[in-house]
């Protein structure tokens, strides 16, 4: 019985920690945009302020980048298949972007309060 009580205590602690970790992770959520078939998917993503957006290149052989040209920011590094790049959005607003080598590939991040 002693051992069972010990296990129950450990489990309880485990769930308390799990709950705490999930709550904390929610504050800085990470959402993913897939890059595949010469498209950003979803093309328009709506997030809350404080969210990190991660772009993942799911192509077989094409490389892309994420370029917030209108903001005057530098282009991301070229993302080869399997590579990703991320940006955290702290301020509400509309953030259009495009792919560096393929200007016809566009997307937008809408950040709400």
In the complex, least distance from residue 31 CB atom to Cu ion, rounded to whole angstroms? 20
d(CA 4, CA 41): 49
Can you list the positions of beta strands (E) in 3-92?
Answer: 30-36, 39-41, 44-48, 51-57, 84-89
CB 61 within 8 A of CB 80: no
- Give the residue with the Cβ less far from Cu ion, 92 or 103: 103
Footprint on residues 43-102 left by Cu ion (CB under 5 A): 64, 99, 102
CB of 7 to Cu ion, least distance (A): 53
- Binding flag, residue 109, Cu ion (CB under 5 A): no
Considering the complex, state which of residue 23 and residue 74 has its C-beta at the smaller distance from Cu ion: 74
Binding residues for Cu ion (CB under 5 A): 64, 99, 102, 105
């Amino acid at each position: 019985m002693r051992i069972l009580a010990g296990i129950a205590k450990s489990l309880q602690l485990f769930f308390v920690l799990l709950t705490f970790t999930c709550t904390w992770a929610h504050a800085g959520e990470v959402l993913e945009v897939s890059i595949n078939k010469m498209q950003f998917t979803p093309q328009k993503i709506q997030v809350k302020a404080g969210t990190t957006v991660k772009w993942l290149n799911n192509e077989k052989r094409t490389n892309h980048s994420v370029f917030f040209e209108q903001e005057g920011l530098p282009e991301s590094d070229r993302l080869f298949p399997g590579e990703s790049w991320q940006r955290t959005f702290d301020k509400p607003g509309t953030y259009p972007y495009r792919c560096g080598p393929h200007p016809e590939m566009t997307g937008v991040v809408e950040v709400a309060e």
